[in-house]
Amino acid sequence: MISILSFIVVIGICVISHEFGHYITAKACSVQVHEFSFGMGPVLWKHKIERTLWSVRAFPIGGFVRLAGMEEEQPEENVIPGKGFNDKKAWQRFLILFNGPLVNVFLAIILTAFFLSGHGVVNMTSTAVGSIMENLPAQAEGLQAGDLILSVNGESVSNWVEMARSIREAASTGPVTLEIEREGTRFQKTISIPFNSTYGAALLGVRPPFVQYGAFTALKNAFSYTVSMSIEMIQGIIRWALRAQDVEVTGPIGIATMAGEAAKQGIWTFISFLALINLNLGLINLFPFPALDGGRLVFILGEIATRKRLPERVENYIHFVGFVLLISLILFITWKDISRIFSL
C-alpha cells in the first residue's frame, strides 16, 4: 500500500507539473485548451471551468493537456478561430512543447536545493575532516575534526575522492606522509595505515563533514548537480540505446517499488527520489523520438530551418507509430519488472 500511495504521489507531482508547463505556456500563447487530465482511461472526476475540462482518470500512469487544433476534438468541441495549436507561429509551438519538460527539470533543481538546505549532504568537494573513526590510525595519531589534508606523500589533493584514492595507493607501499593544516598551522604526520579486513582496504579512519547550505548556495549547487546528473543520464541512455553498456531500465511497477522504499526511509530520501524522477522525466521527454515532446520539437526545428511545414497527416502518422513503439517498450519493461519481482 505504501508503494502504491508513494507512486501516485510521485507520478502525480511529476505529471501535473509537466502538463502544467504545457498548459500555462499554451494559455500565454492564446491557445485554446480542451482538457487538462491526470491519469489515463475512464474518467473518475471532471469539472469544466470556462472552456477547459479538468479531469482525473482511472489509471494514474500519465496525463495530458489536450490542445485545440491538434485533431483531437470531441464531437461537442469547437475550435475558436486563430486559437488552435497549429494556428500559432513555430516559436510559440516550440515553447508550448518545450516548457513541459523544462518545468520538470526546474522542479528537480528546486527539490534538490530544498534537500541541500533542509537536510544537507556529505561534503566531498574538499579534504576537510568531518569526524574521526574510533580505533583506527587517525585517532591513534591525533587527527581532529576540522583538519585539512593538503597532500599525500608530497602530492597535492583537492577533494575527498582524490585524497582517499591517494591514501589507499600510498598505504600499499609503506607509511603515508600527510601534510595537514589545523587552525592556520601546517605540519606533517607519517602514519602506518594497515589493510582493514572489515572494510576491504587500507583505512585511515576519517570521515568527510556533513554540511547544510544556505538558500543561495544550495540553489547554485543544485543547478551544478542537476547539470552533471543530466550529462550522466544522457550518456547512460545513449550507451543503452547503442547496447554499449547494460543499463537497468524500469517501468511503472519498478518506480512504484522504488518510491515505496524511498518513502519508508523518510521524507528527505523521498524528496531526493522525487527530484531524480522529475529530472528523468524532463530529459527523456526531450529525446528526439516520435510521440515525445522532443520528437515534435524536431519537426518544428525542421520547419524553422526549411520554412516548410510537413503535412499534418504525415506528422501525425509518424507520431502514432512512435506512440505504439513507446507503449510496446513500456509493456516490455513492465513485464521485466514483474519477472524481476517474482524471481526474488
Mark out the alpha helices in 30-159 (DSSP H runs).
90-118, 137-140
Give me the mean pLDDT over the 43-56 stretch. Answer: 93
Residue 65 scores a pLDDT above 80: yes
The residue with cell 547503442 is 242
Predicted TM-score (pTM) of this structure: 0.81
- What is the arithmetic mean of pLDDT over 70-78? 83
Is residue 244 pLDDT above 80, yes or no? no
The pLDDT of residue 57: 94
Q: Percent of the chain, pLDDT > 70? A: 94
Rg (CA), the chain: 26
Tens-place pLDDT, residues 269-293: 999 999 999 999 999 899 888 889 9
Mean pLDDT across the stretch 314-318? 85
E-strand stretches of the chain: 33-49, 52-67, 121-122, 131-132, 148-152, 155-156, 176-182, 185-191, 195-196, 201-202, 206-207, 210-211
Which range has the top average pLDDT, 52-56, 208-212, 226-230? 52-56
- Beta bridge partners, 38, equal 56, 63
pLDDT value of residue 259: 84
Answer whether residue 344 shows pLDDT above 60. no
Judge whether 141 and 189 are in contact, CB under 8 Å. yes
**What integer pLDDT is reported at residue 260 of this predicted model?**
85
CB atoms within 10 A of CB 292: 20
Query: What is the enclosing helix (H) or strand (E) of 52?
Result: strand 52-67
Q: What is the pLDDT of residue 236?
A: 78
pLDDT for position 341: 58
CA distance 93 to 96: 5
Rounded average pLDDT over 236-254: 70
Q: Which residue has the higher pLDDT, 243 or 40?
A: 40
In this predicted structure, the answer to whether residue 249 has a pLDDT above a threshold of 70 is no
Checking if the pLDDT of 245 tops 70, the result is no
* Per-residue model confidence as pLDDT tens digits over 85-95: 999 999 999 99
Q: Give Cα separations from 260 to 167, 229, 273 (angstroms).
A: 39, 23, 10
- Domains contained in the chain, CATH given: 88-120+217-343 (no CATH), 131-211 (2.30.42.10)
